[in-house]
Structure 1
């Protein structure tokens, strides 16, 4: 059956992913923290952003391509880094990097991926962005950045909105721990999802390979995983950002910004792009919706600083909303992992087709021929 009929929306890919992977893996991907009010607030705030339809404009085939930070892309969308993505689908980091390079969109690799930059960099090519969780030891940080650069990564994402662990209660109810511990409940879930389990047997159990490469060789098993977690827990401050700016010679993107004053300070410290995000509600449920922070940050930065948005993207219309409110580019983590878990690598191509079609359809409804037309089509209450 045509994928457009079977999976016409991201919600359909999500539902298929839920059936296709074990419950603990789905909960890791899908959950937020607390009562998930933060995730719900993201959705409600995005839904509140509207556009004025425009009639009698003739046939419109909108151009949704863009150039961002010197690179041309077919649409203003990339794959956000997701830690331990190999838990969601075996080999996810490699498969997503390969798809991103084929399609021509950026793909983020997390410090806590189940694969190293050396393994994934050649697959990502020029589309690879490396995401850093700052180690407490700055010499380890320096070496991590050296390795990422040597693996071909020219853009560095520093995530600053994870000052500590979040509880993510849904994950706890699913009995998911890091590293995953085999329990009778998990074994039963794996047995009822043989495709996932066979793929995992081929790939091997997911681990934080990059961080674990800095753990002493005498530390083994679960202790090595725990030790690796401590290594990357660096509690960064402003001085640490200045250190990274000094060491890293490529583009520096700061992810997790919601305050305009922080955005301008980071720009003045040498950040090449600001990334507005609330971690999709996975860290803190009591803050603002990320989309509500976007216009004020754009206003504070002015028109020239590259601005990225993520948090809650559920369709092409959401990408349009973010662009209209000041973003130059949009990233999504969950959607791409739903697609991969639902359909395997072809799911990524289907997702891009779906979002491209959705954006062009909606832009025709409002008479927008390009992304630059979107801000003037916003309803006044959306500004």
Structure 2
């Protein structure tokens, strides 16, 4: 299908989500789409973004917006990228390499998860020079050192240390779907799979997904909750001393992810982090958190460090909203996987085009050609 045909048939992320739900098994969709608890934080992320408005502009004449951005020493073609999603390869086989390939083509950052279905070494040939690696902090010092050595050798530019997952969340929708970690293909999951032949065929070709980066470190699975994966056997609940050890081991840009409380900033800055990632894990960890966008201005006011933002972003207008409130860069996770599940290998480029065109259309409406001027067009 040609790119114009895709734009006509799937003009928005909701269209991709609807198509994805029809193409992947129910338990896979629930893994991708769900939050935790009653999902009030997930809903709050979206509703809070919608309260941010801009004043339309008239008589500003023709303009061409400049969307490129320099961030952490690299030049990016657009101010958004691909957030880490655990077990991407469960959602669509070979997802990690397909996403990395599109990120390299489009000049976007791609962030690979510690609990992805592909290793850093396997994805490395697709990365380009702008890739980030998201680290779930391992308890064992030797594993931490080995993982950082592997990440460096694979060519990752920035390290993203996730701080907001001290314990496993419950993910009730996932439990109801029959999903366990790792997936156990009993009659219930096999029946769901049989109804999605395109997904089943791709999995058959590539093999059952698992967290391959962790293969060399796992010696037993222990007694874990059904929604807690094997990564929790390795994972620490990091403190400041842990962050300082990571800073000493990693010489490149260091981003800390899951920042919501301005009170945490002095310690983070003293530890030498290079950027803050404002996120409530898209409502997947804790159902009593404020919306990420509500905390973004407070984090911006309290720190001069560069800021990455995620949670609730559903289009180019939401990217502009986050930039206007102080973010330097915006990351999306679910949306890229809706695109993959909906359209396979064609999906990521279609989403890149969709987000860019949406940003340009909205910038034209408010008469902004320089992203640094967005805040001036906010409606109080």
TM (normalized to structure 1)? 0.95
Match among 289, 292, 299 for residue 291 of structure 2: 289
Q: CA deviation at 1:67?
A: 1.3
Corresponding residue SS for 1:57: coil
Alignment-derived partner of residue 42 in structure 1: 45
Q: 1:248 aligns with which of 241, 247, 250?
A: 250
Indicate which of 4, 7, 27 corresponds to 2:7.
4
Match of 1:320 in 2: 320
User: How far, CA to CA, are the matches of 1:215 and 1:144 in structure 2?
Assistant: 13
Q: Summarize deviations over 1:116-143 as a string: whole Å, max 9, x none.
A: 1111122112121111001111111111
Aligned to 1:311, the other structure's residue is in SS state coil
2:271 match: 269
Match of 1:209 in 2: 212
Paired residues for 1:8-47 under 5 Å: 8-47=11-50
Q: Tell me by how many angstroms 1:54 deviates.
A: 1.2
- Verify: 1:87 aligned to 2:90, yes or no: yes
> Alignment partner of 1:275: what SS?
strand
**What residue number does 2:365 align with?**
365
- 1:108/1:130 contact within 8 Å kept: yes
Where does the alignment leave 5 or more consecutive residues of structure 2 unmatched? Answer: none
Instruction: Count how many residue pairs are aligned between Structure 1 and Structure 2.
Output: 375
- 3-state SS of paired residue (2:287): coil
Q: Is the 8 A contact 2:114 2:213 kept in 1?
A: yes
Q: 1:129 aligns with which of 115, 128, 132?
A: 132
Partner Cα separation in structure 1 for residue 302 and residue 63 of structure 2: 33
Q: Distance in 2 between the 1:296 and 1:46 partners?
A: 15
What are the Cα deviations for residues 330-383 of structure 1, in whole angstroms up to 9, with x where unaligned?
001001111111111211111111111111111111110121110111112xxx
Residue range with higher mean Cα deviation, 287-296 or 261-270: 261-270
Q: What 5-or-longer segments of structure 1 have no aligned partner? A: none
Deviation string for 1:5-45 (max 9, x for gaps)?
A: 11010000000011011111111000000000000110110
Change (3 A) 1:145 1:366: same
* 2:378 is aligned with 1:378: yes
Asked if structure 1 preserves the Cα contact closer than 8 Å seen for 2:96 and 2:118, the reply is yes
Following superposition, the deviation at residue 202 of structure 1 comes to 1.3
Please identify runs of 4+ aligned residues in structure 1 that moved more than 2 A: 219-223, 225-232
Distance in 2, matches of 1:289 and 1:210, equals 32
Shift of 1:273: 0.5
Residue 233, structure 1, aligned to residue 224, structure 2: no
Aligned to 2:159: 156
Give the deviation of 1:221 after TM superposition.
Answer: 12
Equivalent pair of 1:264/1:300 in contact (CA under 8 Å): no
> What CA distance in whole angstroms lies between the structure 2 residues aligned with 1:362 and 1:154?
31
Tell me the CA shift for residue 220 of structure 1.
8.6
1:196 pairs with 192, 195, 199, which one?
199
1:154-198 CA-to-partner distances (Å, cap 9, x unmatched) read 210001110101111110110101000012121111111111111
The reply to whether residue 186 of structure 1 matches residue 173 of structure 2 is no
Cα pair 2:306 2:328 within 8 Å, conserved? yes
Partners of 1:358 and 1:115 in 2: CA distance: 31
In 1, Cα distance between the equivalents of 2:234 and 2:318? 33
Pairwise CA distance, 1:94 = 1.1
* CA distance, structure 2, for counterparts of residue 256 and residue 181 of structure 1: 30
Structure 2 Cα separation of the partners of residues 350 and 227 of structure 1: 31
TM-align CA RMSD: 1.7
TM-score normalised per structure 2: 0.95
Partner of 2:342: 342
**Cα separation, 1, equivalents of 2:256 and 2:221:** 33
Asked if structure 2 preserves the Cα contact closer than 8 Å seen for 1:121 and 1:128, the reply is no
